[in-house]
Amino acid sequence: PAQGGTQPAPFAPGRPGGLEETAPNEYATGVVIDRQGYILTNYHVLGNPSENDYRIWIQRRPFTAIGVQKAEHVAAGDPWTDLAVLKVEATDLEPIPFGDTKDLRKGQFVIALGNPYGIAKDGQVSASWGIISNLGRPLPTAGAGSDPAKDSLYQYGGLIQTDVRLNLGTSGGALVNLKGEIIGLTTALAASEGYERSLGFAIPVNDVFLRTIETLKTGHKAEFGFLGVSPENLSDAMRRAGQHGAVLVHVVSGTPAFAAGLKEGDIVT
């Protein structure tokens, strides 16, 4: 894993005291995914990429990447999947192996690697452990403004829930199985209210995840189909009346569903 931050101050990790004095005061975590210098992290930890520079430390080696879509050193970021890929000038990094999330089970032991409170300023990752509490979870309801990833795909579900203690700064770090394979990218959403609890979430390393990071490495956002409706199951009374399908409880303006004339209350079969 890689650790970094968003302040543009100079840095000198090789000098005694240099890390403590010059490391960014905003910090997060990243994961090396390619020998050619590609670093994966959460999109929401980047702040405003057009205004920030990013300093990255990997095993005491300092690197600099420039804000997303600001220079060729960075690939791209996508708020919908809350994933971003930065690139540093390196050709000899050791990428983390990807695991198979189809094999995940509740109660499985996992380890979170990250940069809690910016303590891993030298690129030496910190670890914590726990179990998988649940699978396919949506983002938890949070107070106004407390959840930087609230507009992502995962408000609808799909996250790994874990009881690993995810302190501030571990967002964008690897959640790994006992083989050392990454099975999720931690988001540390449970810490967004200003204190930590034994409740955290990670984006699973599934087919959508893998396709998205390959697309981001080419400098483009991933593309997704979006119908624009919120469906619900039919009520018992409607089913007893012989109806079948799903009832639309909301249709988003300006979407394909809206343009096709679908309305709230319609039943889609």
- Asked if residue 84 lies in contact with residue 31, where contact means CB atoms within 8 angstroms, the answer is no
Side-chain-facing half-sphere of 174: CA atoms under 13 Å: 26
Selected catalytic residue, list 44, 78, 126, 128: 44
CA distance 193 to 143: 8
Coil, helix or strand at residue 21: helix
Helix (H) or strand (E) holding 256: helix 256-259
- Asked if residue 1 lies in contact with residue 123, where contact means CB atoms within 8 angstroms, the answer is no
Selected catalytic residue, list 126, 152, 171, 192: 171
Q: Which residues contact 86 (CB under 8 A, 6 or more apart)?
A: 4, 30, 38, 39, 41, 54, 56, 65, 68, 73, 74, 75
Selected catalytic residue, list 78, 82, 122, 147: 82
Residue matched to tokens 């999109």: 43
- Asked if residue 66 lies in contact with residue 53, where contact means CB atoms within 8 angstroms, the answer is yes
CA distance 64 to 134: 37
For the chain, what is the radius of gyration of the CA atoms? 20
Active site residue 250: no
- Asked if residue 205 lies in contact with residue 218, where contact means CB atoms within 8 angstroms, the answer is no
Active site residue 82: yes
Coil, helix or strand at residue 132: strand
The residues annotated with a catalytic role in the active site are 44, 82, 171
